[in-house]
Amino acid sequence: MMNYPEILAPAGSLEALTAGIRCGANAVYVGGMMYSARNSSAGFSLDDLQRASDLCRLYGVKLHVAVNTLLSDSELPEFQRYLQEIGKFADACIVQDLGAVKAVRHILPDMPIHASTQMSIHSPEGAMQAKELGCCRVVLAREMSQKELLQVCQLPIETEVFVHGALCMSVSGQCSFSALVGGRSANRGQCAQACRLPWRTPNGKNQTALSLKDLSLVEHVSRLREMGVNSFKIEGRLKRPEYVATAVTALRMALEGIQPDMETLQAVFSRNGFTDGYFTGKKQNMFGFRRKEDVLASQGVFSQIQQTYQKITPISTLDFSVKLLENVPSVLTASDENGNTVTVNGDIPEIAQKSPLTKEMLCKSLRKLGGTIYQCGEITLENSDSLILSASSCNALRRNAVEKMDILRIENNAPVCHVNPDLLPIPQGIRQDFQKIRLHVRSVSQFQQAKKSGEIVCIPVKMAEKITPSVSIWVESPRILEREQDFYSRLASLKEMGYTDLICHNLADVRIGRELGFVLHGGFGLNCTNSLTAVSLKELYLQDVTGSIELQLSNIVRIGGVLPVGAFVYGRLPMMLFRVCPIRSQDGCHKKNCFMTDRTGRKFPLLCSGNYQEMLNSEILWLADKNLSGLHFLDFYFTDELPERIPQILRSYRDARNDAPKNHTNGLYFKGGLS
């Protein structure tokens, strides 16, 4: 097999894993029954992981295990015990939760950690922050352009890039739609794929306005290889083995300079074709859905594809040496190209009545290697002229040698990973109640009204550049950094102007803000769901953090014992984060009054921040009449509210009034959230 970057295949079953390996993948990623960002139907039990591990070791293939969901404090002890088990099988752990990163480093100190795409890493500073946290590889966001990928590939950290498979409409790790509307969290491997249901833009007739075509960069792999990408990842742990086999084959062919069969690749699964829009920047034709023609096309190729992986293709050559001595058990020694050598004993040879055993006779038995990963190489025979060994005895020697070689290869390829028997304790600090209010605004008129309240006002970078700083005005970073160096320079200028505090929504913001000397505050985009994550953020010099909007309020309060914690208590909760605007793509840019309509007629506002868009909930989060004690601060997010509504809303919360707007929600804070 030629030397090329890692081909990383998905596997939701042992058959899919086998298909990927036999078609040329040199790494496979799987998830267990828990803590994996795919539902349990694509999960491996511990027994399955053992079998998967043995097969990977036999082939010399790496096994990456995904433990990439967000965790609550109540899950952390069991999660660590689970890590102790998978440490026996995994070559690397794929992790999203910063608390989980800390747990892996404690329980499995030798284990390579790969920062999941759920960490939303899309820039050099984000990648380097992940490295400083202990990650040796970043699985980069699928929405990155060629230029953005190249910048990260030049850093001293491994890069893993999705090259084929489904595209979520939202940036991974930043979608709360399924959780908030259906109680099934995408960050917990339970996504209901609401974006694939009927959606319309304001003027559009397209009923699938949030459904993207599948990504395929197979025809760009030469460029990606030149850029220095370390691992080419295929999405699809919920897909059939035939899909895995076809995608791996196409990718392997492309890396070998052979034109891949794109027609078969599209036939096995697509949504009206593929897109490379994020990579190339050509985003005009990225939307698609699964048509009847796509389903029929796949049915016609499955049986043909199965033949590509059901038969074992040899990957190793065995040289055999047989020695026969009178009155001594026969001896066979087998060696492979990697220096693995085994020796087995067999039957005692007999005195030949006619012809003794010859090399030609021996070859007939030793070359019967069908159903194994081996082919026969050189054969040597040391025999006197008088000894014979039956064909059945020769066959037994071969079978025993192959079995022993399999075991040796599995042992030699197994990772060496120390397992710490002591669990990392879950920190519990002293909770202090001192509620402050933070008002997040989007317009100058909202800012002017909010400033009158005497509370902290949080404003975007663009607005901050036009406003005189004060200690009660904080800068809020964007949720995606498209031009990171430009952001760095603008933030440095704001620091020189006199701004002191920065709200961070991404690991990149944290690193940049720390380098520039800002007082750092964690936003909801950091997905803080447990105390170990809070500890990690505290170690990065954050002064406080807003708890995840997917947590129950009681769990947010508990985290506050480690680091001052607040909650998003008013506004339209962010549902999805886009890097391609569905309205611009289908209607043209509306500039204002942007919204998406679902199949029930509900309208979800779309906010544009230039290089990205946020789809917000159709209902207002309203908690004025709820018990919010235990929180250190309250976040109010104002989007389309008239400025004069701001003091009215604040009075309602201060007086605990039950005067909620007609269409409102309590979010997941009291039921349905992560506890």
Contact call for residues 279 and 141 (beta carbons, < 8 A)? no
Q: Model confidence over 54-99: pLDDT tens digits?
A: 999 999 999 999 999 999 999 999 999 999 999 999 999 999 999 9
Residue 273 lies in a domain: yes
Is 422 part of a structural domain of the chain? no
Residue 29, token pair as written in the block: 């990623």
Say if 475 falls within a structural domain.
yes
Whether the pLDDT of residue 468 is over 90: the answer is: yes
CB-CB contact of 631 with 435 (8 Å): yes
The runs of H, that is alpha helices, within 39-153 are: 46-59, 76-86, 98-107, 124-133, 146-153
Place 478 in a pLDDT band, splitting at 50, 70 and 90: very high
Comparing 20 with 435, the larger pLDDT belongs to 20
Position 36 pLDDT exceeds 90: no
H or E element in which residue 513 lies: helix 507-516
Structure tokens given for 108: 């499995």
pLDDT value for 34: 87
Is the pLDDT assigned to residue 49 strictly greater than 50? yes
How confident is the model at residue 294, as a pLDDT?
Answer: 81
Considering the domain architecture, whether residues 589 and 564 belong to the same structural domain is answered as: yes
Predicted confidence (pLDDT) at residue 522 exceeds the cutoff of 90: yes
Q: Do both 346 and 303 map to the same domain? A: no
d(CA 159, CA 137): 6
List pLDDT tens digits, range 311-345.
Answer: 999 999 999 999 999 999 999 999 999 999 999 99
CA distance 617 to 612: 17
Does residue 561 register a pLDDT over 60? yes
408 and 456 inside one domain: no
Q: What is the pLDDT of residue 499?
A: 98
Residue 541, both tokens: 């010099």
Phi/psi for 636 (5° steps) reads -110, 125
Measured distance CA(625)–CA(637) in Å, rounded: 17
Q: 378: part of which helix (H) or strand (E)?
A: strand 374-382
Let me know if residue 601 belongs to a domain: no
Do both 17 and 147 map to the same domain? Answer: yes
Four-point Cα dihedral 294, 298, 300, 305, nearest 10: 150
Number of Cβ within a 10 Å radius of residue 652: 17
Q: In residues, how long is the chain? A: 675
Q: Tell me how far CA of residue 383 lies from CA of 341, 377, 636, in angstroms.
A: 21, 19, 88
> Is 552 part of a structural domain of the chain?
yes
Identify the residue whose tokens are 């800012």: 447
Q: If 0-12 CB within 10 Å is exposed, 13-18 middle and 19+ buried, where does residue 353 land? A: exposed
- State the pLDDT at residue 41: 66
CA 483 to chain centre: 23
Residue 607 has a pLDDT of 94
Tell me: do 518 and 495 sit in the same domain. yes
The whole-chain average pLDDT of the chain stands at: 94
496 assigned to some structural domain: yes
Q: Is 608 helix (H, G, I), strand (E, B) or coil?
A: strand
Helix (H, G, I), strand (E, B) or coil at 644: coil
- Beta strand pairing call for 62-67 and 92-95: parallel
Domain of residue 153 covers: 6-167+212-310
| Separation CA 171–CA 382 (nearest Å) | 65
Do 234 and 132 share a structural domain?
A: yes
483 and 383 housed in the same domain = no
3-state helix, strand, coil in the chain (%, to 5): 35, 25, 40
Given 263, 292, 310, the domain boundary residue is: 310
pLDDT at 110 over 60: yes
Reported as a pLDDT band with limits 50, 70 and 90, residue 1 is very low
**Whether the predicted pLDDT of 195 surpasses 80:** yes
Q: How many domains does the chain have?
A: 3
What does the pLDDT average to over 248-254?
97
The average pLDDT across 584-609 equals 91
The verdict on 343 and 223 lying in the same domain is no
Comparing 382-391, 440-449, 561-570, the range with the smallest average pLDDT is: 382-391
Contacts 24+ apart (CB under 8 A), 449-452: 449/643, 449/644, 449/646, 449/647, 450/638, 450/646, 452/647
CA distance 22 to 318: 19
Q: Does residue 218 sit in the same domain as residue 109?
A: yes
Residue 147 reports pLDDT greater than 90 = yes
Looking from the CA of 222 toward its CB, the CA atoms found within 13 Å total 8
Predicted local distance difference test score (pLDDT) of residue 430:
66
Instruction: Take residue 388 and report the two structure tokens written for it.
Output: 């014979």
Residue 175 maps to a domain = no
**Residue with structure tokens 């990155």?**
144
Q: Which of 179-188, 377-386, 405-414 has the highest mean pLDDT?
A: 405-414
pLDDT of residue 236: 94
| CATH number of domain containing 582 | 3.20.20.70
pLDDT at 39 over 70: no
Q: Where are the alpha helices (DSSP H) in 60-210?
A: 76-86, 98-107, 124-133, 146-153, 177-182
Q: Do 398 and 467 belong to one domain?
A: no
In this structure, the answer to whether residues 218 and 359 fall within a common structural domain is no
**Looking at the domain assignment, is residue 182 inside a domain?**
no
pLDDT of residue 460: 97
Confidence of residue 27 (pLDDT cuts 50, 70, 90): very high
Letter string b/e over residues 233-270, b meaning 16 or more CB atoms within 10 A of that residue's CB: bbbbbebbbbbbbbbbbbbbbbbeeeebeeebbbbbbb
Q: Quick one: 590 and 485 in the same domain?
A: yes
- Please tell me the distance from the alpha carbon of residue 78 to that of residue 66, in angstroms, as a whole number: 16
Beta bridge partners of 240: none
The last residue of a domain, from among 293, 310, 327:
310
Check whether 3 has a pLDDT greater than 60.
no
What's the chain's Rg over C-alpha atoms?
A: 29
**Which residue among 257, 284, 310 closes a domain?**
310
* Whole-number Cα distances in Å, 658 to 7, 379, 500: 57, 87, 36
Mean pLDDT within 476-501: 96
pTM value is 0.95
